[in-house]
Amino acid sequence: MRWFRFLQRKSDLAAEIESHLNMAIAERVARGQSPEDARKSAIHEFGNVPMVADATRDQWGWLRLELLIQDLRYALRQLRKEPGFTLTVVITLALGIGANTAIFTLVQGILLRSLPVNDPSRLYRIGDKNDCCYYNNYQNDNGDFDLFSYDLYLHLKQAAPEFEQLAAVEAGGNGFSVRHGAEPARPMRSEYVSGNYFSTLGVGPYAGRLFNENDDTPGAAPTLVLSYKTWQSDFAADPAIIGSTVYVELHPFVVAGIAPPGFFGDRVISNPPDFWMPLASEPVLEGANSALKGVDELWLYPIGRVRPGVNIAALQTKLSVILRQWLATRPAYSDRGGTALIPRQHVILAPAGGGIQRLQQQTGAGLRLMMILSTVVLLIACANIANLLLARCTARRSDIAVRMALGASRRRVIRQILTESVLLSLIGGIAGLAIAYAGSHMMLTLAFPAAKNMPVQALPSPAVLAFAFLVSLFTGVVFGTAPAWLSSHAQPADVLRGVNRSTGDRSSIPQRALIVLQVALSMVLLAGALLANAQAAYDLTRSLANRLFGQRGPEFQELVGRTIRSVTSGILGVALIQTALAALGFLLVGLPGASLWIVIFLFGAILQAGGLVFIPAVIYVFAVASTTRAVIFLIWCVIVGTLDNFLKPMLLGRGVAVPMAIIFVGVLGGFISMGIVGLFIGAVVLSVAYKLFLVWLKGAAAELPA
């Protein structure tokens, strides 16, 4: 509305100015001037029409907004004009933000979350292993006992008043077909739990009621509790479901209530239950196979809430004693030499409040690595964007100079570029949001393939998103604006005259530094990705080697590994050291196109001919720079060029049972035929061939006398 009024006033002002001019012209014509002259002199007298209009509009207090809109329009036009640049920046940003948000979302969902239960610090599980699902003997060689029978659970419950409440939950789960009304039957996951399960955890119902002890008595009317997610997805969140009857494998169960959202059981597993049933209903469904009635059948995890101030270590000892006493009374465990194993049986109390812990342990290390990697990705993205913006600003220096020369204020110029950077970051951020959502969803699907009920939310956390977004916004603003600020301080006339033009096509020092940073970060990323899969890769090569070389497989795998290591540390290591030193020399002496020289030198060094690259460089420096500088540069080149002769014997061929010459020839041949990868392939092929040859020789020699 206000905007509409502004537009109206704007056209009003234009009309006012026009009427002013018309009156001035009319009066001049009346005084006898020709219409053309009258028009000219009237306009001359009036002055700069747009400027007057601007100054007048300024009085309305709308100018700021108008300038912003101008900036935005101009920025959009600029971005559209360079779709390649825009797309690159947006994709880079989107990947950086998206990957980070996805990973951090998982980190938050898995590592930083605890179960939605009441006062989780007092919850303990008797047992710390994940044995599953039905046992009727000892579970672990060291006597760690973590699965319990119903009888044993009741025994513990009665003998350990340190627990305010002690509940039991089935270690495994079951798949049942569930039918409601006329709808087709649906497969669902379920878990049997003791009647005090929910009250022990301190979880209240979302709707209806949860179990009580009455539900868990033999002969009680069968009831079940639905998970919130299942209620939402399979029963269309229909409140009428509470109290109605569903059929589990044709047995009628009354839906007692709905568990609260976010409750997926006492532990986070990849396929959490869709509903819970009291232990007492187990015989109903399992009939003759019922585990509940098997006194020695171990299939439950006891979870208890200890009273405040209970000594956990003492309770653990006490429970272990009770366990051993119980075992001694059961023939199934004491017969056939079982008695000898009883003394070492014990239980360990594990905090169950962070019930998500198991998942955390399983995925924690991987997630943390992913987190570091994705942070590196974000850094690379930022470096990349900074670099692009710097390059663009250099290209636009003359553009800025023209605008300054036409009278644009420095603030206006910088604000324009700032608007552009922020706009870019915003677009990237929105794309990043999409990637973040898709990414975390995809990773969750990969992590919990069987889950119908995802125990972790895929919604990116706003805090994480905001963080990643702010980092990239900051990059955009700093690297977009700083160069603009610098170029706005240059004398427009100088820039236009081309004083700096010669430097225009050479990348600036910050730009070069950014490229180095990017390459370094990418290497970290690559190494990290390889490390994350190191064990898998190792196993793969081992089985491959076994296939290829039979019994000698491990030996050859070792050989390949050693050869690669030797090439890396020897050839590449020496080449990199030399290149770094040479690069220092090139940069200090101010060789034009230093980055190109450095790349050429690196290749030369790998080919053992780095010194050759020095020759034209030294000649150039002697021709251009002062003699002293040139001589110092020459000495530096000689030192760097001969360095490999000392370094190589120290690093190459160490720990490899193959002569260095063989590796060396392999490296050279491989590089010539295949490039960088050939360095390794050539060396490996030659050393393996050499080893095979030796084996063949020895084998032949061994066969001869026989």
Partner 1 sequence: MTAKNKYQNRIELLQGTLDMLILKTLQWGEQHGYGISQAIRVNSGEVLQVETGSLYPALHRLERQGWVNAEWKKSESNQRAKFYKITKLGKAQLASDYERWGKMVATIEGIMTAK
Binding residues for partner 1 (CB under 8 A):
12-13, 15-17, 19-20, 22-24, 26, 46-48, 51-53, 55-56, 58-60
* CB-nearer residue toward partner 1: 31 or 80: 31
Tokens 């002569």 found at: 659
* CB-nearer residue toward partner 1: 60 or 538: 60
* CB-nearer residue toward partner 1: 15 or 312: 15
Shortest gap between Cβ of 4 and partner 1 (angstroms)? 18
Q: What is the identity of the amino acid at 123?
A: L
The DSSP result for 151-179, as a single string, is HHHHHHHHH-TTEEEEEEEESS-EEEEEE
Residues 292/151, Cβ–Cβ less than 8 Å: no
* CB-nearer residue toward partner 1: 30 or 313: 30
* CB-nearer residue toward partner 1: 6 or 247: 6
Q: How far apart are CA 519 and CA 387, in angstroms?
A: 12
* CB-nearer residue toward partner 1: 56 or 232: 56
b/e 141-169 (16+ beta carbons within 10 angstroms → b): eebbbbbbbbbbbebbbebbebbebbbbb
Q: How far apart are CA 349 and CA 20, in angstroms?
A: 92
The DSSP result for 560-591, as a single string, is HHHHHHHHIIIIIHHHHHHHHHHHHHHHHHT-
Shortest gap between Cβ of 56 and partner 1 (angstroms)? 4
For residue 471, count other CB atoms closer than 10 A to its CB. 19
Using the Cα atoms of residue 542, residue 547, residue 551 and residue 557 in order, give the sign of their dihedral.
Answer: negative
Shortest gap between Cβ of 65 and partner 1 (angstroms)? 16
Residues 201/163, Cβ–Cβ less than 8 Å: no
Q: How far apart are CA 95 and CA 499, in angstroms?
A: 39
Tokens of residue 54, six digits: 């601007």
Shortest gap between Cβ of 25 and partner 1 (angstroms)? 10
Tokens of residue 655, six digits: 């720990």
* CB-nearer residue toward partner 1: 31 or 81: 31
Tokens of residue 350, six digits: 């594990």
* CB-nearer residue toward partner 1: 52 or 67: 52
Residues 667/683, Cβ–Cβ less than 8 Å: yes
DSSP E strands, 532-651: none
Q: What is the identity of the amino acid at 183?
A: E
Shortest gap between Cβ of 416 and partner 1 (angstroms)? 24
* CB-nearer residue toward partner 1: 20 or 403: 20
Kindly give, in sequence order, each residue whose CB lies less than 8 Å from that of residue 584, ignoring residues fewer than 6 positions away: none
* CB-nearer residue toward partner 1: 29 or 581: 29
Residues 296/211, Cβ–Cβ less than 8 Å: no
Residues 213/165, Cβ–Cβ less than 8 Å: no
Shortest gap between Cβ of 59 and partner 1 (angstroms)? 4
Shortest gap between Cβ of 597 and partner 1 (angstroms)? 58
Shortest gap between Cβ of 15 and partner 1 (angstroms)? 8
DSSP E strands, 270-373: 275-278, 300-306, 349-351
Shortest gap between Cβ of 620 and partner 1 (angstroms)? 59
Shortest gap between Cβ of 28 and partner 1 (angstroms)? 12
Shortest gap between Cβ of 500 and partner 1 (angstroms)? 36
> SS in 3 state form for 210-222?
CCCHHHHCCCCCC
* CB-nearer residue toward partner 1: 24 or 581: 24
Tokens of residue 62, six digits: 């709308």
Shortest gap between Cβ of 410 and partner 1 (angstroms)? 23
Residues 161/155, Cβ–Cβ less than 8 Å: no
- Where helices occur in 490-533 by DSSP H, the ranges are 492-497, 501-504, 509-532
* CB-nearer residue toward partner 1: 51 or 438: 51
For residue 391, count other CB atoms closer than 10 A to its CB. 16
* CB-nearer residue toward partner 1: 49 or 328: 49
For residue 674, which phi and psi values (nearest 5 degrees)? -130, 0
Shortest gap between Cβ of 8 and partner 1 (angstroms)? 12
